[in-house]
Homo-oligomer: A and B are copies of this chain.
């Protein structure tokens, strides 16, 4: 049996030293990997653990740990595994950055670019036109991100762009793989959380989604709702219980598939 657990968080580079990170510690992912290791014998299980650079790693032995930098790195390593091996399940707990850096600029540079384009325009500038001028000015690269941004700048401006949704790719590459997705929101109602998580499940053909809210992850506590494709749901309290609940569901599903 071959299972991939992703854990921790991606890191998107701003410049030579700075990055955008998320607070993901990898603890939940490491517990899931440990739980699976305890339930399946070493001979039968190949477990890949793809995790962020600073993430917690499982205590169990014989787990193949693969370190991940940014979203593109995760995509390429995951794709390679899915294309070269028959992966039975992916438990995708890694917090993948929704955004990477598109351009780095300054207020002065934006203003200069807007003023220049504005002056170059012959006819009176419509509001539509002004909008497109502003948007285009924002996309112009003013700072070389291969170097450390000088701390002399008063107000660096970071324009972000969306990264690829990694979860979308998993069932496309490997339709028979059991897939567990994760949805983290912040300060929403329980029904809004569950609705959003269920939409993620349907959209990406997940078998299960763990829905959680940053407000319910505090001081060692961690509350989650594990939702399945039939829209039934169990509430789990604590990272250990969540890890056990996910391992239960995945192994049951894999057993059903074999039958």
* Chain A interface residues (CB < 8 Å from chain B): 11, 14-24, 54, 95, 97-99, 102, 107-108, 110-112, 114-115, 118-119, 127, 130-131, 134-135, 138, 146-149, 151, 154-162, 184-187, 214
Contact = CB atoms under 8 A, between A and B. Distances in A.
Give the top 6 A-B pairs by smallest Cβ distance, nearest first: A98-B151, A148-B186, A111-B131, A111-B134, A16-B186, A158-B158
A102 B14 CA distance: 17
A24 B18 CA distance: 9
Given A138-B155, A154-B162, A156-B99, A184 B17 contact: yes
B20 A18 contact: yes
A126 B186 CA distance: 43
24 contacts: A15-B186, A16-B214, A17-B24, A17-B184, A17-B214, A18-B20, A18-B21, A19-B22, A19-B23, A102-B155, A107-B159, A108-B131, A110-B134, A110-B138, A114-B130, A115-B127, A134-B134, A138-B157, A148-B214, A151-B162, A155-B159, A156-B159, A156-B160, A157-B157
A127 B111 CA distance: 9
A156 to B, nearest CB: 5
Nearest to A55: B54
A160 B151 contact: no
Contacts of A130: 111, 114-115, 118
A120 to B, nearest CB: 12
A154 B160 CA distance: 8
Given A102-B155, A111-B130, A151-B162, A187 B16 contact: yes
B95 A17 contact: yes
Which among A17, A98, A148, A187 has the greatest number of chain B C-beta atoms within 10 A? A17
Nearest to A134: B111
Contacts of A54: 54
Contact of A21 (B21, B98, B99): B21
A163 B207 CA distance: 46
A9 to B, nearest CB: 9
Contacts of A156: 99, 159-160
Given A156-B99, A158-B158, A160-B157, A23 B14 contact: no
Nearest to A17: B22
